[in-house]
Amino acid sequence: MIKNKMIFKACIFDLDGVIVDTARYHFMAWKRLADQLNIKFTEKDNERLKGVSRMDSLEIILELGNMKPDRKKKEEFAALKNNWYVDFISRMTPNEILPGSLEFIQEIRKAGIKTAIGSASKNTPMILGRVGIEKLFDAVADGNIVHKAKPDPEVFLTGAHMIGIEPDKCVVFEDAIAGVQAALNAGMMCVGIGSPAVLTKAHMVVAGLHEMSLSKLKKIKI
């Protein structure tokens, strides 16, 4: 009999940039706000917003424009951006699921591995619903129930708790530097989605879930 070397029991997925490409919608909505405020905001600046909460993202943009509005104004700006963003994501279709995601998640679920979402986004339920993948996850930990932003480990620890798996038996899939750090802070293994030059702290880095398989995951080095 072949000895089962598998040391993980669950996979926790960040949503934006890992399973769906919503980063461009975030960018389009932030850009619209920045244009209205006469703030120069480029795609390069947008990289800094990945994995960062809505209010923290707004702070970064306001800092770029050297603006210091009061709290009420900030809430107004964040609401404006979110309305535009929701307008984009409410038109999403299953075609916008990133390549290989469904196949990989289905493969690990068939092997008995639990799956959860760990995302900062308060729009997680709408996105999962629009692309029709709610049933692929045993639990959803998102910005509606978690309040400490990545790199705080809260979102991943909450996800692990919801599915009843110890943190050291979880693998996180993340595209943001702050998200990789959050996984490590949670005591979890981490597969970075993107470039190894950027996600230097991840245990393994792939370009996307299309490059993942159960056998590759078993080779992860801790």
3 vs 71 by CB, closer to ligand BG6: 71
CB of 112 to ligand BG6, least distance (A): 28
53 vs 101 by CB, closer to ligand BG6: 53
Q: Beta partners for 173?
A: 13, 191
**Active site (annotated) includes residue 56:** no
Q: Which of 16, 117, 149, 180 binds Mg ion (CB under 5 A)?
A: 16
Through-space distance between the first and last CA atoms of the chain, rounded to whole angstroms: 25
The token pair at 83 is 């309305």
**Alpha-carbon gap, residue 199 to 206, rounded angstroms:** 10
17 vs 153 by CB, closer to Mg ion: 17
List CB contacts of 128: < 8 A, sequence separation 6 or more: 15, 117, 134, 137, 140
CB of 121 to ligand BG6, least distance (A): 4
The token pair at 6 is 């598998």
CB of 14 to Mg ion, least distance (A): 4
Instruction: Decide which of ligand BG6, Mg ion, none touches 31; Cβ closer than 5 to 8 Å per partner kind.
Output: none
State the DSSP string of 118-171: E-S-TTHHHHHHHHT-GGG-SEEE-TTT--SPTTSTHHHHHHHHHHT--GGGEE
Contact set with ligand BG6 (CB under 6 A): 16, 26, 49-54, 57, 82, 119-123, 143
Residue of minimal CB distance from Mg ion? 17
Among the options 14, 70, 87, 152, which is catalytic? 14
Least Cα distance to 16 among 29, 5, 1 occurs for 29
Total residues interacting with Mg ion, rule: CB under 5 A: 6
**Active site (annotated) includes residue 16:** yes
Residues in the site for Mg ion, rule: CB under 5 A? 14, 16-17, 51, 175-176
The residues that are catalytic are 14, 16
